[in-house]
Every structure is written in structure tokens, then in C-alpha cells.
């Protein structure tokens, strides 16, 4: 909804939602920093039973480059998300080159 401020979501709320895909892209972090932050979290009971975690569909993205700043790269960010949600879709070379390694790395990154 327009002009609605963002809000925090607790880890327990994420567990309750049982998402199929988790995108970790904290503002100001690149993908490696996002992955390191994720790995440092003390997760609540039930975290490993979330479908996204169980199925290796936790992805770490570079928020600064593709989501947090206005500009043409926002389009690439949208393509990245579309490709993660629907791997069968074709995307630009830039999006494909970012997503391709993730689809193979995501399983080991969440274990």
C-alpha cells in the first residue's frame, strides 16, 4: 500500500508463515555479508522445517546493487526475483549470471 512504512517481521512470524522461498537482502549488505549474517542468527524452533529452508530455497542477494537504490539496476533486481521464483523463465544476461550460481549453491548455504 502506498505511503505505508516498512515493518519488522519476527523469525517466529516467518516460521508461522512457512514460506516456500526466503530472500535475504538486508539494506547495506552485499550477498556474502547477507549470507554471513544469516548464518550468525540463533533461529527459533521449527526453522529447519520451513519449506524454504528444508528445500534449499534461501537466497542471499546484494541489496545495495539491486534493491535499495533507485536506478536501472532495479529492473535487474526484479528479473533476479522472477528467475528465483520461476527458474524456467528467461531473464537478461545480468540476472541469469547472478541467479545461475545461486540455484546450485543455495542448498549448501542453508545447511
Total residue length of the chain: 111
* 43 in a structural domain: yes
Sorting pLDDT into bands at 50, 70 and 90, what band is 109?
very low
Secondary structure (H, E, C), 9-72:
CCHHHHHHHCCCCEEECCCCCCHHHHHHHHHCCCCCCCHHHCHHHHCCCEEECCHHHHCCCCCC
> Is residue 4, in this structure, part of any structural domain at all?
no
How many CB atoms neighbour CB 59 within 10 A?
A: 25
> How many domains in the chain?
1
- Does 12 map to a domain? no
What is the domain range of residue 25? 17-110
Q: What is the per-residue pLDDT across 69-107, written as a single tens digit (0 to 9) for each?
A: 888 889 999 999 999 999 889 999 899 889 888 876 444
Does 36 map to a domain? yes
From CA 37, how far away is CA 31, in angstroms rounded?
10
Amino acid at each position: 500500500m502506498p505511503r505505508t512504512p516498512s515493518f519488522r517481521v519476527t523469525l517466529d512470524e516467518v516460521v508461522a508463515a512457512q514460506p516456500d522461498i526466503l530472500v535475504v537482502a538486508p539494506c547495506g549488505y552485499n550477498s556474502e555479508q547477507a549470507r554471513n549474517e544469516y548464518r550468525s542468527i540463533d533461529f527459533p524452533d521449527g526453522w529447519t522445517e520451513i519449506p524454504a529452508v528444508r528445500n534449499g530455497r534461501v537466497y542471499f542477494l546484494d541489496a545495495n546493487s539491486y534493491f535499495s537504490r533507485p536506478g536501472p539496476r532495479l529492473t535487474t533486481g526484479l528479473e533476479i526475483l522472477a528467475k528465483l521464483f520461476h527458474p524456467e523463465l528467461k531473464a537478461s544476461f545480468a540476472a541469469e549470471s547472478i541467479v545461475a550460481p545461486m540455484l546450485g549453491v543455495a542448498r549448501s548455504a542453508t545447511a
